[in-house]
Amino acid sequence: MNTRTANTRRLAVAAAAALALSLGVTACGSDGGGKASGGSSTAASASGAASTGAASGAAKVSGPITVFAAASLKETFTDLGKKFEAANPGAKVTFNFGGSSSLATSINSGAPADVFAAASPATMKTVTDAGGATGEPKTFVKNTLTIAVPKGNPKHVATLNDLTAPGVKVALCAKEVPCGAAAQTALKAAGVNLTPVTLEQDVKGALTKVELGEVDASLVYRTDVKADAAKIDGVEFPEASKAVNDYPIAALAKAPNKDGAAAFVAYIQSPEAQQVLTAAGFQAP
Q: Express each pLDDT in 219-255 by its tens digit.
A: 999 999 999 999 999 999 999 999 999 999 999 999 9
pLDDT score at 11: 36
pLDDT at 3 exceeding the cut of 50: no
pTM attached to this predicted model: 0.78
Tell me what the pLDDT averaged over the chain comes to.
84
Q: Are 173 and 199 in contact (CB under 8 A)?
A: yes
Give 70's strand partners: 98
What is the spatial distance between Cα 158 and Cα 194, in angstroms, rounded to a whole number? 15
Full DSSP string of 132-144: -EEEEEEEEEEE-
Q: Express each pLDDT in 99-131 by its tens digit.
A: 999 999 999 999 999 999 999 999 999 999 999
What interhelical angle do 271-279 and 258-268 show, nearest 10? Answer: 60
In CATH terms, the fold of domain 145-242 is: D-Maltodextrin-Binding Protein; domain 2 (3.40.190)
User: What does the domain layout of the chain look like in residue ranges?
Assistant: 60-141+247-279, 145-242
User: If pLDDT is split at 50, 70 and 90, which confidence band does 60 have?
Assistant: confident
* CA dist 33 → 25, 29, 44, 62, 160 (Å): 12, 6, 16, 44, 84
pLDDT score at 250: 98
Q: Are 277 and 117 in contact (CB under 8 A)?
A: no
The class (CATH top level) of 60-141+247-279 is: alpha beta
Q: Which residues contact 40 (CB under 8 A, 6 or more apart)?
A: none
Task: Count Cβ atoms within 10 A of the Cβ of residue 91 and give its class: 0-12 exposed, 13-18 middle, 19 or more buried.
Answer: buried
Task: Count Cβ atoms within 10 A of the Cβ of residue 200 and give its class: 0-12 exposed, 13-18 middle, 19 or more buried.
Answer: buried
Q: Are 93 and 84 in contact (CB under 8 A)?
A: yes
pLDDT at 162 exceeding the cut of 70: yes
pLDDT score at 38: 39
pLDDT at 46 exceeding the cut of 50: no
Q: Are 133 and 124 in contact (CB under 8 A)?
A: yes
Q: Which residues contact 96 (CB under 8 A, 6 or more apart)?
A: 66, 67, 68, 69, 103, 106, 113
What is the spatial distance between Cα 273 and Cα 69, in angstroms, rounded to a whole number? 15
